[in-house]
Amino acid sequence: MSEGPNLGSLLAEHWHLARKLRSLEIHFAPERCKGLWQCYEVCPVGCWTPDYDVRCVVFRHGERCIACGACVLQCPERAIELR
Amino acid sequence: MATVFMKWLERRPADYDRGIRLLTLGRLEAMQHLIVEELVEQGMRVLEVGCGTGALTAAMAKAGANVSAIDISPGMLAEASRRIKKEDVEEHVDLQRMDAVMIDELFEPHSFDLIVSSLALSEMSERGRRYLLKSVRKLLTPDGKLAVLDEVRPTSGGSRLLFTLVRAPLQLLTWLLTRTTTHPLTNFEGVLTNSGFDWDLLSTEMAGSLRLYLATPVEQDESDRKPEMFRGRLNGARTLRTVLIDLWASLFRILPPYPQVKPGVYAVGEPGRDSPLLVTGNFELTVRRLVRAIEGELDAWILVVDSGGINVWCAAGGGFLTADKIIGALHISGLSEVLHHHALILPQLCANGVEGWRIREQTGWGVHWGPARAVDIPEYLARGRKKSDAMRWVTFPLRDRLEMTAVTLGFYALLILIPIAIFWRSIFWPTLIAMAALSAFYAVTLPWLPGRDGLAKSLPLALIALVGMLVYSTIWDPASIDVLFARAIGITALSVFIAAELQGMSPLMRGEQANWGWEAVIGGFLGLTYWLVPNLMGWR
């Protein structure tokens, strides 16, 4: 047989990744937030809302999250995690 | 030809001049003599780039010039130093070892009346040459001139062929002896013009392959300056080619090879030094949509970054479009020298794979997240790079749903219709029509069907489809119970596949890729039912 991943294991891996994607949740540490609004700028579904009074974002619409990871990546303060 | 042997000759600087004289049949000397006679005057400040053994250096100094001469080879410089002592022109010559591209670091601007290079530019890389010419512009006095004596690859077909034929064995020999090769100048005249020089051909020898150029810097219209990696102007015009590509992409977009645009800098309209800079991936449809969205609305630069020919969202998510790729593309683009501002506008939908803050840190450029859709760019810019929530949020409107329906149809045509056409021709047309009708119906009704993901929505879709099938079978095409059963199984299977897949084509999916597992289970179950029930009921 040929070496390397076969179609079966590739499909299985793909399936597990996709399933994991469904269970991921946003964990936000507001004390780290410096109000740069990057998560708000990039979120394509509107989970984040800026609170200009306290210079901190609010994770308001978690139900819309598609776990794309954009907010996690763009936060230079690493205040957001997806796990 | 000469430079091929030159590489070999370079190893023994003392014999260099004798070898060159032999190889150029003494013509090089005559041309160097012309430089001294025609161009050098008493008291002139001259820079010689690549002085070699210093023959021309000494001759120019003797004619009364103050010569700064540089070379990168210590052996050559030692030989030049000996010659200058012998000719007793030491006080008029300053020898330095350095790479030619460093002259702008080591000499003051406007410090030379004449810059000379003999058989040296052909030893440099194309990039090095362009850089050197830029530095020469800076170092020359307002009336200063550049004289280039070098080997040139002929441009006309016949002489080019002859040149190549004669040169090939010599090149091989040189490579065998020294593991190096030389590069006679190609299109040097174009490079001179592009680098901002007016030039004349003072003299040619050796059937036109040895040339002496005299170049003077021209006033460059700085407002019209193009960046280094400028590839041209883009427009959104429809041509036969774009129509064919769009047709292909509307059905088989997910199959490689993806239509691509060459990475680099492009202009839309007539951008100037203050025009905005938009970044995008190199999927041809992406670039075309961007161009069509802004064409006529604004003048802009577009930096097309290699994303493997994939749209920005998928490319960023899959690691094909990264911060480093954008940093690299920006670095070699030459844009920082052309633009007055340093502001990058990135597509919002590459934020899932491109760290904006890292680009900011490493390049010093401002990073701004543009709108999710290209059509909103003009308004986004008009508002001073501010987005409304509507510009930020991704939706899956009817137009996009229909477009993606075509893509899924193309995919299923390959997966389902081809096997059916081969093995089960009688149901080909009914399947095709059912598939197209179901897809279109699903695309239109998607937002109103209950359930969050496509698999859940496939249940109501299947029910509606079954009702539709029953109505059809009752009114137009009455059938026996076993045919009805077969139709029901088929229509249910199609509903599940179509519904589960289309949502996966939207940017709003979340792990819907896992649905294929369920699709397989449901498919298996339907197949089993299709085989089992007629046997149990005694229809066969």
Q: The complex's ipTM?
A: 0.90
Contacts of A12 in chain B (CB under 8 A): none
Best of A26, A61, A66 to disrupt the B interface by mutation (most B CBs within 10 Å)?
Answer: A66
Q: Please indicate, yes or no, if residue A58 is contained in any of the structural domains.
A: yes
C-alpha span between B236 and B289 (Å, rounded) = 8
Joined tokens for residue B493 = 């299977």
Q: What is the pLDDT of residues B410-434, one digit of tens each?
A: 887 888 888 899 998 888 998 999 9
DSSP codes, B143-192: EEEEEEEEEB---SHHHHHHHHHHHHHHHHHHHHHHS-----BSSHHHHH
B385 and B437 share one domain: no
Best of A25, A42, A63, A71 to disrupt the B interface by mutation (most B CBs within 10 Å)?
Answer: A42
Q: What is the pLDDT of residues B433-445, one digit of tens each?
A: 999 999 999 999 9
Q: Please indicate, yes or no, if residue B226 is contained in any of the structural domains.
A: no
C-alpha span between B106 and B96 (Å, rounded) = 10
Measure CA of the first residue to CA of the last residue in chain B; give whole Å.
Answer: 86
Pairwise CB contact (< 8 Å): B352 & A18: no
Contacts of B388 in chain A (CB under 8 A): none
Q: Please indicate, yes or no, if residue B233 is contained in any of the structural domains.
A: no
CB contact, 8 Å: A54 with chain B? no
- Percentage of chain B exceeding pLDDT 70: 90
CA distance A1 to chain B (A): 25
B301 and B348 share one domain: yes
Domains: count for chain A = 1
* DSSP three-state, residue B396: coil
Tell me which residue in A14, A44, A76 faces B349 most closely, judged by beta carbons.
A44
Helix (H) or strand (E) holding B535: helix B515-537
From first to last of the 83 residues of chain A, give the pLDDT tens digit. 444 567 788 778 877 877 787 788 999 999 999 999 999 999 999 999 999 999 999 999 988 898 889 999 999 999 999 98
Q: What is the pLDDT of residues B10-21, one digit of tens each?
A: 556 656 666 566
B413 and B383 share one domain: no
C-alpha span between B210 and B148 (Å, rounded) = 10
Q: Please indicate, yes or no, if residue A9 is contained in any of the structural domains.
A: no
For A48, nearest residue in chain B (alpha carbons): B389
Range of the domain at A55: 26-82
- Contact indicator for B174, B160 with CB cutoff of 8 Å: no
Helix runs in B413-480, H state only: 418-423, 428-445, 454-475
C-alpha span between B411 and B254 (Å, rounded) = 8
Kindly report the CATH number assigned to the domain that includes residue B59: 3.40.50.150
B146 and B292 share one domain: no
* DSSP three-state, residue B447: helix
> Virtual CA dihedral for A25, A26, A29, A35, nearest 10 degrees?
180
- Contact indicator for B111, B86 with CB cutoff of 8 Å: no
Examine the fold and report which residue of B392, B425, B457 is the final residue of a domain before the chain moves on: B392
Residue with tokens 């280094």: B228
How many CB atoms lie under 10 A from the CB of residue B128?
A: 14
Q: What pLDDT does residue A1 have? A: 41
How sure is the predictor about B33, in pLDDT bands with cuts at 50, 70 and 90? very high
B353 and B304 share one domain: yes
Measure CA of the first residue to CA of the last residue in chain A; give whole Å.
Answer: 37
- Contact indicator for B321, B305 with CB cutoff of 8 Å: yes
Helix (H) or strand (E) holding B215: strand B210-217
Range of the domain at B436: 398-537
Q: Is there a cis peptide before residue B257, judged by omega within 30 degrees of 0?
A: yes
For B511, nearest residue in chain A (alpha carbons): A18
CB contact, 8 Å: B246 with chain A? no
Kindly report the CATH number assigned to the domain that includes residue A52: 3.30.70.20
Rg (CA), chain A: 17
Tell me which residue in B354, B389, B509 faces A66 most closely, judged by beta carbons.
B509
Q: Please indicate, yes or no, if residue A8 is contained in any of the structural domains.
A: no
Q: What is the pLDDT of residues B106-137, one digit of tens each?
A: 899 999 999 999 988 988 877 788 889 989 99
C-alpha span between B102 and B256 (Å, rounded) = 45
CB contact, 8 Å: A20 with chain B? yes
Q: Please indicate, yes or no, if residue A14 is contained in any of the structural domains.
A: no
Q: Please indicate, yes or no, if residue B231 is contained in any of the structural domains.
A: no
Examine the fold and report which residue of B392, B420, B454 is the final residue of a domain before the chain moves on: B392
Pairwise CB contact (< 8 Å): A74 & B353: no
Domains: count for chain B = 3
Q: Please indicate, yes or no, if residue B472 is contained in any of the structural domains.
A: yes
Best of A37, A40, A74, A82 to disrupt the B interface by mutation (most B CBs within 10 Å)?
Answer: A74
B419 and B358 share one domain: no
Joined tokens for residue A33 = 């937030």
Q: Show Cβ contacts of residue B206 under 8 Å, excluding neighbours closer than 6 positions.
A: B1, B2, B24, B25, B27
Q: Please indicate, yes or no, if residue B114 is contained in any of the structural domains.
A: yes
Q: Please indicate, yes or no, if residue B370 is contained in any of the structural domains.
A: yes
List, as ranges, residues 478-507 from B with C-beta within 8 Å of A.
507
CA distance A3 to chain B (A): 24
Give the DSSP letter of residue B321: S
Q: Please indicate, yes or no, if residue B122 is contained in any of the structural domains.
A: yes
DSSP β-ladder status, B210-217 and B197-205 = antiparallel
Kindly report the CATH number assigned to the domain that includes residue B326: 3.40.50.11600
Q: What pLDDT does residue B173 have? A: 58
